[in-house]
Structure 1
Amino acid sequence: MYGQGNRIRRLTMASAALTGSFGLCMPLAAQESGTAGSTELGPIEISGGRQGSGAAQPLMRGKIGSTAQSLPTAVTTITEEEIRTLNVDRDISNIYRRVPGVVANNIDQGDTGNGFRMRGFATNGTHGADVAVSVDGVPQNIPSSQGGAGHGPVFLEWLTPQMIKRVDVIKGPVSALYGDQNRAGAVNIETLDGGDVASSVGVDVASFDGRRTNLVLGGEHEGLQSLLVTDIYRTNGYRKAAETERDNYFWKLSKVIGEAKYSVRFSHYESDFKNDGYLNLPALKAGTIGRRDTDNLYGFGNANRNTYVFNRAPADGDAGLYYTAYYEDFRRVRGISNGTNTHNYGKDDRDIYGGRLTYNFVHEDTASLMVGTDVRRDKGDAFRRQYRNFAPTQNFYHDFDMDLITYGVFAQGQYKPIDSLKLLAGVRHDRFDYAIDNLKFRNASTGYNSSVTTPKFGLVWTPFEPLELFTNVAQGFRSPAAEYISSGSGSALPLRDTGGQINDSVRPSKVKSYDIGFTLRPSDRLSTTTEFYYIQNDSETVQTSPGVYEQVGDTTRKGVETSFNYQATSTLSTYASYGRIIDALITNPAPGIGARLVVPEHTYKAGVQYRDGFMGGQITLNADAYHLGGIPYYVGTDKRTMPAYTRYDLRASYDYSDYQFSVYGTFRPHRYGTEVAYGTNSGLVIVPQPSTTLGASVRYFF
């Protein structure tokens, strides 16, 4: 296990690092020299990752490599050290708060899915659909879900900050390593090894009865690294019926054998929650209902998820063999109030397993070729049922017994014809073999076979060292949902043999994305990145009549994102970003539906960090601002604008000897501002947010 000396060395290394995506300043801990003070830091690394305190490192996009930072697109890397300075609280999606252009929605409806989206994609709500998310090579999107979170939602509640080593956010579908849901981009999350962390125990308390207890046991013995994380979380929530009970357990073993690094991990997650649903904004403003009330019945749910993962990767460098195998059983229910005494009760009971095999050929610093294949099987029951007065009825909205198999093959090559120019080309081919047993309309049961090919091209030009120009054109896709293929009336009806409709002409939804951008580093202290994107979805699937789904036209998205990182002094750093969605339009909207997609036109983010020695320890102060504006919504075809949403996060931490003390607060000044809202015929419905949330924590390292 790590002792005090190891913890100090680790704190020193982390403090010396500059996180390139945000430009956060991390001076050396005073404990290293035994005196309070600061140390001059190394330069900011632009394309992500962690930078040591030595000389300036070159920009990363022009290098041959298998990491996300080598792609010809905008990539933000969130490091373990940065996650410690965020107010993550109950929602792991808060790790995306500082990423330029990414909307991190605090759904605040229990463990119902992780709210984040980017580049104007919101077709399936706010639950991470349209972004391909993987953890240690295991896909996290659930295409079979019927739990009320849309098609391809992401559930990351099984993760805690103490498990995460790094998060790469890749803008656009440029990487061939990611398949289903890779339309807006991809997120790759890597978990920690036992040798990366110091053992510790922490206690956290927050507003609205938030309580968290966390134990981390990390260490190494004869080359075998072990990491055990347990996390117990409870809260009563801001709203009257809001309650969450969540238990997370994680154990990972890692060892280098010969030229390969092997790891095996197990995670167990379970939760039980209640939530208050949405409230009508006109009724709130009229005072007929309070912000903390429940309209009709409260919602409820629970989940249980066990995951087993085995990984192999080269021990040194990028070249060589990679493979992943995994299995998980996924059980989840959610009851959503949809009447004065009824719920739409969704249940997912799935067994998911698969793997990936990849080999990366590397020729010096001039070329590489990664080829591979992956397969995933998602099997089990999923339904949505009507509950009346918290008891099941005989009526179902959907009921499917599904066996969904996806096969993929891919290749991605990089080549540098000259030192200042790098070319990238990739391609994926994915095939779907589905067996869908429609239990609501049995004669609509069907098999489904289809395939999709998505090429990717890009280049990076570095005319001189401080400037990096990049561009790409790439395609991505999303698999069709079961209710698109085997459809029927969405009304609550008993199970029957007749009715329903088979839509076997439905194809995977494809997008074509164009990017162009640059990164400029005029000095070691200042960096800026700007990118423009244009996205066309040539096969948007919509419901054209009851039970009938068709691909009726294009969806177009245009936008720009720009970010700045500035290390003002050795102890003070700042970041700022602005995202503008210029257009997010449905070319052929369904009757009675507006053409604009419900996504924010403006996303502003800014922050500052101060870190220095203080009274024999180290103090870290963080302040972050987050603002969304210009979000349209429709009542019929009447276009309106949601209230603006602003959030301020403050956090102060003090490291002294073997202890870390933190206090934090989140402030929302707009009374009716919200991150999650929907337009209805009776007006906007929203999830009210508390104006102030406060918390404190203490952690002991041993």
Structure 2
Amino acid sequence: MAFLPSSFSPSTLSRPVAPLSAIALGVTTLAVTLAGAAHAQGSASDAPTATMSTVEVREITGPATRAPGERAALALQPKALPATVQQLNQDDIASTNVGRDISNVFRRVPGVLANSIDQGDTGNGFRMRGFATQGTHGADTAVHVDGVPQNIPSSQGGAGHGPVFLEWLNADLIDRIDVIKGPISALYGDQNRAGAVEIRTRNGGSATPSSISVGAERYGLRRTSLVLSNSFAEVDSLFVADVYRNDGYRRDARTDRDSFSWKLSTARAGSLYSLRLTRYVSDYAGGGYLLLPQIEAGLDPRSSQAGNPGFGNARRTSLVFNRAPAEGEQGWHATAYAETFNRSRGITANATQHTVGVDDRNILGARVLNHASFGNAALSLGAELRQDRGEAYRRIYANRLPSANYVNAQDLDLLTYGVFAQGQWKATEAVKLSAGARYDRFDYDIGNLKLPAASTSYRKGVFTPKLGASWSLMPQLELFANVAEGMRSPSAEQISSSGATGPLGASGGVISRVAPSKVRSYDLGFTSAPAQGWTVSGAAYYILNSDEIVGQADGSFKSVGDTTRKGFELETRWRATPSTSVYASVGRILEAKANNPAANAGAKLSIPGTQFKAGAQHRLRLGAGQLTLNADAYLISDIPYYVGTPTTQERSMPLYTRYDLRGTYDWGQTQLSLYATFQPQRHGTEIAYGSATGLMVSPVPRTSFGATLRYFF
């Protein structure tokens, strides 16, 4: 498919500014000054216009990356995989209705459900292949930005273990995104069970235009973004600042967010070096969940849960260094990063009470990787390390004031390190074999502040192999197959349980020696190009999770039973003319169940059984400018959930549909975008969960629309 371009909360939760945050504040003025000076040095003749070239969203199966209708060819590429990989670039994102939620950049990727819940910066859900239920916010998919893991282990200010927080990421900052289906890549470790997402940020210089944009959307979204890009003294500079204010659809929803990223990059002796500083600050409130039977009985869907909205804030500062070959992928790659991560979130419990989760973490990490080729073979070797220190706790607040009772409270020192290898061998012109392996080690020291007797160390490792093959059966048909293992570390709470809600320093406590949870995934797929401009692709998968970690009656956790996921995805793309393209995909989960469900609980996982996506794009000259039109449709259905006591009465969530329209007019250096989103299905929502009394939903507006005006200079 070718997409043409269209180009905090209550003071009681406030935290002191960490040392790295102070550094960020100190360099902000310097960043603006240098970025502005860099831009001033550019020649007016170098200023880019808003007109950009046609770029495709391509699917990679095995090592071949090709346009629709192009001949398949097995070639050695360092990161090529015998798996389904979707690739998005800047122009794909520019033609998408991103709006309130950066997760929307994944809307067109087959089989992927990505969203937040428009209740403040509460994380970015990312679900595929039957993994990550409604409230896990991206867990089970390893998400990296510039080589830096975005999954936060044992998070209490988000949603459990491994949630992903991408709210700091402005769409103007993204260069490309790779979505890897299944745990086939050895380059990713923890949380790589459903697959992995690799996001790369842009560099400054002539390839990136400077711009300023203002936008507004129904229900109180106002946004201003500034991009300053240029080169000085052989250094490319990119400064992206974003001011975001959103009142939200729900009456008590609100998000005030400010973020900036400043990236410097330079080429030296065949290598590209970059240094990126990012600062993100957010304060928000959220309406919570409402009971569907009460909405059907007349409750205002824009009201707050129990009349008591949630609240929260976030402060995040990151410093990231990268080294890569100046051309291509072969050679040495290195990443080093330091980050402060502070997040608080008050979740509504009833009319007077919140459960407030807090993360106060400092994260350091590094990664080295070498890609090399040897005749008909290629090999990638690497190692990585990450240390995460700080506090994570959940505390009960009554009438928005802290009480003496905690759900849990832990002092964490989490050290993770691993080594990995991935190789390819082109056995014949038509067959390529792939193999990979990882060994990851978890060295944890957990201080249980609530139940000190449960404080413990944890020392365990896990080995995950990967095997695959690609076969060009004929010039226009390529097949692939793989079997791979992926894994997820245990959370601190699963190792050192905190028991029932109570004060700090209580007696008792349970320690569990659970192993990291592993999955084994089997894939069989194809890509074909039956005619010029037309591609058809698909994959079927079977995933067995043999080490599911579940809670026991005594408060301990144990690796017991397993879960099973089976499904398939099909996609077709057709470029009808150079200016018109269409796409459609269907994803079907045939089975997603716990083979040994907990007592008094249903076996089916709360995952959409059917997902359908389709869209079209057309570009035409209009007057002195160019008009790009996009239309997208999205449907999810057959989502099971359970109600009653015990929770074994099976129900199905309402059908959810979404339609996006977008028109972008480029005229000289000015770009105007008008867009609308329709979610017409009554009571339909992507975010919901079953409870004893019925389905809890996060209502969405039936209609929303907005506009963005951008000037390139």
Return the TM-score normalized by structure 2: 0.91
Structure 2 partner of 1:485: 495
What's the offset of the Cα at 1:150?
Answer: 1.7
Structure 1 partner of 2:526: 518
Q: Distance in 1 between matches of 2:391 and 2:278?
A: 22
Q: Distance in 2 between matches of 1:419 and 1:596?
A: 44
Q: Distance in 2 between matches of 1:278 and 1:607?
A: 31
Secondary structure of residue in 1 paired with 2:351: coil
Structure 2 partner of 1:295: 305
Q: Distance in 2 between matches of 1:169 and 1:698?
A: 30
Structure 2 partner of 1:576: 584
What's the offset of the Cα at 1:464?
Answer: 2.1
What's the offset of the Cα at 1:76?
Answer: 0.5
Contact 2:62-2:480 within 8 A present in 1 as well: no
Q: Distance in 2 between matches of 1:183 and 1:363?
A: 30
1:422 lines up with 2:422 in the alignment: no
What's the offset of the Cα at 1:221?
Answer: 2.9
Name the stretch that deviates more: 87-96 or 543-552.
543-552
1:675 lines up with 2:686 in the alignment: yes
Contact 2:119-2:248 within 8 A present in 1 as well: no
1:268 lines up with 2:306 in the alignment: no
Q: Distance in 1 between matches of 2:93 and 2:473?
A: 34
Structure 2 partner of 1:119: 129
The equivalent position to 1:159 in structure 2, one of 169, 177, 193, is: 169
What's the offset of the Cα at 1:634?
Answer: 0.5
1:380 lines up with 2:418 in the alignment: no
Q: Distance in 1 between matches of 2:72 and 2:317?
A: 40
What's the offset of the Cα at 1:123?
Answer: 4.8
Structure 2 partner of 1:531: 539
Structure 2 partner of 1:684: 695
What's the offset of the Cα at 1:4?
Answer: 7.2
1:626 lines up with 2:647 in the alignment: no
Q: Deviations over 1:21-45 (max 9, x none)?
A: 4xxxxxxxxxxxxxxxxxxxxxxx8
- Identity of counterpart residues, as a percentage? 51
1:84 lines up with 2:94 in the alignment: yes
Structure 1 partner of 2:517: 509
The equivalent position to 1:586 in structure 2, one of 569, 573, 594, is: 594
Contact 1:47-1:59 within 8 A present in 2 as well: no
1:615 lines up with 2:655 in the alignment: no
Secondary structure of residue in 2 paired with 1:359: strand
Structure 2 partner of 1:63: 75
Structure 1 partner of 2:56: 18
Contact 1:18-1:51 within 8 A present in 2 as well: no
Letter matched to residue 214 of structure 1: S
Q: Deviations over 1:332-367 (max 9, x none)?
A: 000001122110100000001110011222124x21
Structure 1 partner of 2:254: 243
What's the offset of the Cα at 1:8?
Answer: 5.2
1:190 lines up with 2:228 in the alignment: no
Contact 1:619-1:652 within 8 A present in 2 as well: yes
Structure 2 partner of 1:330: 341
1:499 lines up with 2:511 in the alignment: no
Structure 2 partner of 1:449: 459
Q: Distance in 2 between matches of 1:270 and 1:47?
A: 41
Secondary structure of residue in 2 paired with 1:110: coil
Letter matched to residue 543 of structure 2: I
Secondary structure of residue in 2 paired with 1:494: coil
Q: Deviations over 1:298-350 (max 9, x none)?
A: 00000000000111111123221111100000000000011221101000000
What's the offset of the Cα at 1:528?
Answer: 0.9
Secondary structure of residue in 2 paired with 1:484: helix
The equivalent position to 2:368 in structure 1, one of 332, 342, 357, is: 357
Structure 2 partner of 1:558: 566
Contact 1:117-1:126 within 8 A present in 2 as well: no
Name the stretch that deviates more: 2-11 or 183-192.
2-11
Contact 2:69-2:529 within 8 A present in 1 as well: no
Secondary structure of residue in 1 paired with 2:427: strand
The equivalent position to 1:96 in structure 2, one of 95, 106, 116, is: 106
Q: Distance in 2 between matches of 1:241 and 1:673?
A: 20
What's the offset of the Cα at 1:474?
Answer: 0.2
Q: Deviations over 1:135-160 (max 9, x none)?
A: 01001100131124121000000101
What's the offset of the Cα at 1:57?
Answer: 5.4
Letter matched to residue 390 of structure 1: R
Q: Unaligned regions of 5+ residues in structure 1, if any?
A: 22-44
Contact 2:536-2:572 within 8 A present in 1 as well: yes
Residues 49 and 129 (structure 1 numbering): CA distance in 2 closer, same or farther, change over 3 Å? farther
Residues 425 and 419 (structure 1 numbering): CA distance in 2 closer, same or farther, change over 3 Å? same
Letter matched to residue 503 of structure 2: P
Contact 2:264-2:276 within 8 A present in 1 as well: yes
What's the offset of the Cα at 1:162?
Answer: 0.1
Q: Distance in 2 between matches of 1:270 and 1:48?
A: 40
Secondary structure of residue in 2 paired with 1:348: strand
The equivalent position to 1:665 in structure 2, one of 668, 676, 699, is: 676
Q: Distance in 2 between matches of 1:481 and 1:168?
A: 27
Letter matched to residue 217 of structure 1: L
Contact 1:651-1:663 within 8 A present in 2 as well: yes
Contact 2:116-2:125 within 8 A present in 1 as well: yes
Residues 79 and 57 (structure 1 numbering): CA distance in 2 closer, same or farther, change over 3 Å? same
Q: Deviations over 1:547-600 (max 9, x none)?
A: 221111110000000001001112110000000000001011001110000000
Q: Distance in 1 between matches of 2:91 and 2:360?
A: 36
Q: Distance in 1 between matches of 2:221 and 2:158?
A: 26
Residues 184 and 467 (structure 1 numbering): CA distance in 2 closer, same or farther, change over 3 Å? same
Q: Unaligned regions of 5+ residues in structure 2, if any?
A: 1-38
Letter matched to residue 458 of structure 2: Y
Contact 2:70-2:532 within 8 A present in 1 as well: no
Residues 575 and 192 (structure 1 numbering): CA distance in 2 closer, same or farther, change over 3 Å? same
Secondary structure of residue in 1 paired with 2:293: helix
1:146 lines up with 2:184 in the alignment: no
* Cα RMSD for the two superposed structures: 1.7
Secondary structure of residue in 1 paired with 2:229: strand
Q: Distance in 2 between matches of 1:118 and 1:583?
A: 13
Contact 2:61-2:82 within 8 A present in 1 as well: no
Structure 1 partner of 2:187: 177
Structure 1 partner of 2:3: none
Q: Distance in 2 between matches of 1:160 and 1:210?
A: 15
Structure 2 partner of 1:695: 706
Contact 1:144-1:481 within 8 A present in 2 as well: yes
Secondary structure of residue in 2 paired with 1:81: helix
Letter matched to residue 335 of structure 1: G
Residues 380 and 106 (structure 1 numbering): CA distance in 2 closer, same or farther, change over 3 Å? closer
Contact 2:63-2:75 within 8 A present in 1 as well: no
Counting matched residue pairs gives: 668
Structure 2 partner of 1:655: 666
Letter matched to residue 64 of structure 1: L
Q: Deviations over 1:175-223 (max 9, x none)?
A: 0000000000000000000023100000000001110000001112343
Contact 1:4-1:701 within 8 A present in 2 as well: no
